[in-house]
Structure 1
Amino acid sequence: MMAKLFTPYSIKDITFKNRIVMSPMCMHSSDESGEVKNFHLTHYTARALGQAGLIFPETLVVDPDGLIGPGDLGIWDDNHVKGLKNLVDQIHEFGAKVGAQIGHAGRRTIKEGVTPISASPIPYHEDPITPIEMTKDDIQRMVIRFREAARRVHEAGFDVLEIHSAHGYLLNSFLSPLSNQRTDEYGGSLENRYRMLEEVIEAVKTEWTGPLFVRISSTDYKEGGNTPGTFVEYAEKMKAQGVDLVDCSAGGIAKVEVDKYPNYQVPAADKIRNEVGIATGAVGLIKTGSQAEEILKNNRADLIFIGREFLKNPFWPRAAAEELGADIEVPVQYTRYGSQWLK
């Protein structure tokens, strides 16, 4: 029987050749322009050769003042489209689909001379810089930023769009009661805290009709914060809006010590998937093919997001296939007799 990890998976009119996703991870390898460099072409295309089904480059930042860190890739300007399209085309050439995660770092922005923005003027951890509380006009301008980013994602030829609403960044700061103490229609109740993400999703859908993911922090790991139970309610709203998959990460709102162990974030993906009836992605110290297979076979998630292991080994899917006894397609150049076949 074929390992489920290596079975195709379709969303709308896009089919991934397997269930393995390269998770977005910051590389900080561009410059102030935010444009694609040779490093990105080499780094991500190598994972396509390694047989990932879906590859997410790092977060594409929707505003130049919303960097997660120096050298982030951007999608705040039409000038970014050409380089991103080149990256997408090269990844496609080697059989993988490509996702664009769009986001803004909010109060966790790291850019010299920029005062961060957030849902409320509450610093991150012990950061001496107090973020500026966004006005309603600021929120609407940011919604437009996300909408314009979605247009550029479409123009660059990406297969999947993911909205980054996790890790303490801007949209996550509205969702969490730990960072959102507003008294207007964007704060207070769960419905109000969801409002900005709701508006971003609706705006993005005016420019994007393909598979739509949302990355969440399923728990804040701190009393008074969001929990997987909270996100069951949020995910119900996302499902009603037409979101196709919830990418279940965790943490980032508060600086806390997290007990990390293999599959430690999988229970949230399991809970949301099976209580809401929406597809989920599992992430969090998934190191082996057998771990991934257990998650899929027990219907705990639909896609497996691999992070650090892909940094160690671009050919993680091949290692997983060997472990599971699965036969998968391998670039002919990487087979024993490939050089003869190519003559």
Structure 2
Amino acid sequence: MTDATSPALPAILEPLTINGVEVRNRLILPPMCMYACEARDGVPHGWHFQHLGARAAGGFGIVVAEATAVTPKGRISAWDTGLWNDEQRDAWAPIAAYVAAEGAVPAVQLGHAGAKASTVPMHPGVPAGEPILEGPDAWATLSPSGVPATSMPANVRAMTEQDVAGTVRAFADAARRADEAGFGAVQLHAAHGYLIHQFLSPLTNTRTDGYGGDFEERTRFLRELVAAVREVWPADKILGVRISGSDWVEEGWGIEETVRLARILEEEGVHWMDVSSAGLGDRYHGPKGPGYQVPLARAVKEGTQRMVVSAVGSLTTPQEVEEVLVSGAADAVCVGRAALANPNGPVEAALELGASAEQAPMARQYFRATWGPGAH
């Protein structure tokens, strides 16, 4: 608690309310794949506990577990986590409970990699993202139209309407398990060239049925996923979507369509949109540098009424993050890669921005740290 003598609270530490859920500050740990399931069973274990738990103790407001597959063939790699069975649910439960006990909102990103599945895990010294076409870690992948997401060889086929319906059920089943595991938020992964994004973008969706064609048809898959998840996800918890605001390709998905979709999703029960970009094709053709995606987040925030919007992408310094919030471009900021190196980043950022040790989101067990109260 602060008093009149306390420093002004930095914007990063202002509490945030999403669908009635109180979030202690504006800093979000985004989902980052760990590729740590050596058993290839999708079951999280001690690594995931310590990784997510440390960032919760380090002060993040929301801690989002990595892209977690809703089906075995929806994994980016065989080393990914899942929520397609109850064993995985039960393994996630103590992780979610610990994150919540440390004061953060435990969240999980639900995804399906589509044509970008069955790839080499991102480990040091290996060709990460390259498709695996044979062997025990290879499987036939799915996409809206049988169109690969990159120019690399891929064993991919077009989804039937039965495949689409089954995938919608799989997302709903995974969301139900996420609730049972104790997560306070789920985020549907509609970005970075994975399955939902493949439906949204005309670069990869050339279907001629009700799931391809104009804007209404290309967004139908995501809208059906939202409706199915809403049926099983508690009304008092947070439902989010991560989206690529632009493909950065003239004939691809763009920010105007993103804002239009955000308005629809806002009315259909989505509370939070995390705005990233790109993911289709071989090379990135968009802008670069700190905050290069912030204009996309601002467009969604200005184009909606109630949607909580978070920005992400090359925002690493406390000053960069603070400026995004002070300017009103977004309601929250995701800090990813910097958090891999420094799980206590929120505490250190708060102190660097002038907060007192009492105001910083510091775990009480760490009060003797050099940046904590009573340090000597």
TM bin (shorter chain)? over 0.9
Which residue of 50, 62, 70 corresponds with 2:70?
A: 62
Matched, 1:336 2:368: yes
Which position in structure 1 is the counterpart of 2:295? 267
| C-alpha contact 1:290 1:324 (8 A) present in aligned 2 | yes
**Runs of 5+ in structure 1 lacking a partner?**
none
Query: Is 1:45 aligned to residue 77 of structure 2?
Result: no
1:240 and 2:267 correspond: yes
Compute the displacement of 1:129 (Å): 1.8
Partner of residue 121, structure 1: 146
Whole-angstrom CA distance in 2 between matches of 1:165 and 1:24: 13
Specify the alignment match of 1:86 in structure 2: 94
TM-score by length of structure 2 reads 0.87
Q: Distance in 2 between matches of 1:340 and 1:47?
A: 20
What are the residue-to-residue correspondences of 1:154-303 with 2, within 5 Å? 154-208=179-233, 209=235, 210-258=237-285, 259-277=287-305, 278-303=307-332
How high is the sequence identity, in percent, across the aligned residues?
35
Structure 1 distance, partners of 2:193, 2:369, is 49
CA contact (8 A) 2:347 2:361 kept: no
Q: Distance in 2 between matches of 1:249 and 1:331?
A: 30
The answer on 1:32 being equivalent to 2:40 is: yes
> 1:121·1:130 contact (CA, 8 Å) conserved in 2?
no
Indicate conservation of the 8 Å contact 2:263/2:303, yes or no: no
Task: Calculate the aligned-residue CA RMSD, in Å.
Answer: 1.7
Distance apart, 1:70 and its partner CA: 2.8
Cα offset for 1:130? 4.7
* Residue in 1 that maps onto 2:115: 107
- Deviation (angstroms), 1:93: 2.0
Report the CA distance between 1:187 and its aligned residue: 0.5
How far apart are 1:337 and its partner, in Å?
8.0
Q: Is the CA contact (8 Å cut-off) linking 1:24 and 1:57 kept in structure 2?
A: yes
| Aligned partners of 2:31 and 2:67 also within 8 Å | yes
The alignment status of 1:8 with 2:8, answered yes or no, reads no
- Secondary structure class of the residue paired with 2:86: coil
Secondary structure of 1:42's partner?
Answer: helix
Distance 1:234 1:324, change over 3 A: same
Give, in whole Å, the separation in 2 of the partners of 1:218 and 1:256: 17
| 1:104-152 C-alpha deviation (Å, 9 max, x unpaired) | 0000001633111001111222222252111111100110000100100
Normalising by structure 1, we get a TM-score of 0.96
Tell me the SS of whatever aligns to 2:89.
helix
Moved over 6 A (4+): 337-341
Unaligned runs of 5+ in 2: 1-7, 120-136
On the 8 A contact 2:151/2:281 being kept in 1, the answer is: no
What letter corresponds to residue 229 of structure 1 in structure 2? E
Alignment size in residue pairs? 341
Instruction: Give the whole-Å Cα distance in 2 for the aligned partners of 1:128 and 1:12.
Output: 43
